[in-house]
Amino acid sequence: MNKLEIRTVNVVQYIKPLREGGSLPAIVKADDDFLYVLKFRGAGQGKKALIAELLGGELARAVGLKMPELVFMHLEDTFSQTEPDEEIQDLLKFSVGLNLGLHFLSSAITYDPLVSTIDALTASKVLLLDSLISNIDRTAKNTNLLDWNRELWVIDNGASFYFHHNWSTYKNHLTRSFPMIKDHVLLEPATVLTKASLDIQQALTDEKIKEIIALIPEEWLQNETDVMTPNEMRQAYLEYLKAKLAMIDVLVKEAEDAR
């Protein structure tokens, strides 16, 4: 089995900010000549949003959903010096070092529940995975899904795992269900949740989850305000995901009741 790895690239050109995102991500070019949507460590939720993006994205890929390639992106200090916009200048300054990028899907369009079509299994997997990772940000107002080449692609998982913003209370979240699933954009077409839950359980073995958690760069787990060590945090992410998978039938029922 191939070891799961994330490539590291260097940002060589800042192209433009994406102002529809609250954290002001940007389209950038890397030294591999590809374009990426760069998520900044210096943005609002900081490195924790990057961890959520990384874990959520690779879990989505593991369960068979379409997910743009994720890369670690190294940002030099030089970009902030030539940026005229003060807000972006600060963002670039605070984001020097290792950030996260998603491969830019050129000409992709935002998923629209009124226009786009989606098969029941894909909808069910997205819905259930979001329930597992407590993703509060996949609503009709902000779908965080793209139509590209007539396929549904999952993006923007940075609002997941919100328990990690306060490690001292994370154990309280281990047995909680996810009532906010009632607002999920795919609630209606997600009609084969039992089948999706079996597929997800089969894909997300302990080994696979550990492999994904191992991808988190050590420096993203080091914050002066945190009460836990990086190793303890990795264990906590594992404990959380195992606890959620153990109650997947509860999450299925909750979603079905909401529909």
Task: Give tens-digit pLDDT for 41-64.
Answer: 999 889 999 999 999 999 999 999
Compute the average pLDDT of residues 174-203: 97
Q: Which helix (H) or strand (E) holds 153?
A: strand 151-154
Compute the average pLDDT of residues 153-172: 95
* Residues above pLDDT 70, as percent of the chain: 98
Is the dihedral angle over the CA atoms 95, 100, 105, 108 positive or is it negative?
negative
pLDDT in tens, 110-160: 999 888 889 999 999 999 999 999 999 999 989 999 999 989 999 999 999
| Residues 112, 152: Cα–Cα separation, whole Å | 11
User: Which ranges in the chain belong to alpha helices (H)?
Assistant: 46-62, 78-82, 86-94, 120-132, 193-203, 206-213, 230-246, 248-258
pLDDT in tens, 6-37: 999 999 999 999 876 567 899 999 999 999 99
Side-chain half-sphere CA neighbours of 224 within 13 A:
0
Say if residue 192's pLDDT is above 80.
yes
pTM: 0.96
* Alpha carbon 26 to its chain's center: 16
pLDDT value of residue 212: 98
pLDDT value of residue 49: 95
Cα 134–Cα 1–Cα 215 angle in degrees, nearest 5: 40
| Residues 87, 92: Cα–Cα separation, whole Å | 9
DSSP type of residue 185: T
- The DSSP annotation for 14-67 comes to EEEE-TTSTT--EEEEETTS-EEEEEPTTSTTHHHHHHHHHHHHHHHHHTT-B-
- Assess contact for 213 and 234: CB atoms under 8 A: yes
| Residues 50, 42: Cα–Cα separation, whole Å | 10
pLDDT in tens, 66-77: 999 999 999 998
| Residues 18, 91: Cα–Cα separation, whole Å | 13
